Amino acid sequence: MELSIAKKFLLLAQHPEKARMLISGVHIQYGLAGALLLQMSLEDKIEVSGEDILTVKRGANFNDPFLEEVAQMIQRSKKPRKMRYWIQKVGPKALKWRHQFYDQMAQERLIRVEKKKFLGLIPYTLTYLVNSQIRNKMIQALKSDVFRKKDIIPENMAVLGLIEACKMHNVLSKEKSQLESIKKDLKQLVKESPISATVDQTIRQVQAAIISTIVATTVATNVATSSG
């Protein structure tokens, strides 16, 4: 089964046993945004200038509706924008789109989706891993890539980049000694990757967007608490 980078990211982020994700909504939001832009890059449909300006290549066509909408957002912009701007702009949309990704993944029998309502009013979604074999194989392949440090296919490098950006290292291993090695090796791999120009920029901007959002949320919470 050929999975997009976004679906691979969500599959890795899914808790293997419980009805929840392993990472926060903020990480999912910007991780998905990064996944979509990385997919566009791997398909050679966007380019990033030396000043981090992101543009859609002339004549680029998209079969994926999510990628098409991101491309239209970029093309409709009144002026050239940097990668960071688009990560932050696409993030909130990606958070909404995740439910459509969940539905597609349920049809592909990767996960099971349960839609419920809290107090009969507030809707929420539970997701359960169905196909652990595909997820486990993916983890083993990515882990092997990190240790081998060479001949990594671009798709895997992009996914590893998202693992680095969203601090999902413990998906690859829970052994403390091995985990430290993975963190160190993965950071170096991302910098030396053949597609590092886009991967490194995307990772940096995903991390920046996550950090700035967490800081803003913390400040807002502290202000609300002190005002009360």
Domain residue limits, the chain? 5-129+196-220
Write down the pTM of the prediction: 0.89
Q: Which residue has the higher pLDDT, 177 or 141?
A: 141
Q: pLDDT value at position 212?
A: 79
- Residue 111 confidence class, pLDDT cut points 50, 70, 90: very high
Q: What is the mean pLDDT of residues 121-150?
A: 92
Tell me what pLDDT residue 223 has: 53
Say how many C-beta atoms besides its own lie within 10 A of residue 171's C-beta.
Answer: 21
Portion of the chain with pLDDT greater than 90, in percent = 51
Pick the more confident residue, 124 or 5.
Answer: 5
What is the distance between the alpha carbons of residues 219 and 227, in angstroms, rounded to a whole number? 12
User: Is residue 60 within 8 Å of residue 78, measured between CB atoms?
Assistant: no
Alpha-carbon distance 80 to 87, whole Å?
14
Confidence of residue 203 (pLDDT cuts 50, 70, 90): confident
Task: Say if residue 200's pLDDT is above 60.
Answer: yes
Element (H, E) at 60: none
Mean pLDDT across the chain, nearest whole number?
A: 87
How much is the average pLDDT of 91-95? 91
More confident residue, 21 or 207: 21
Q: Which CATH number is 5-129+196-220 given?
A: 1.10.3630.10
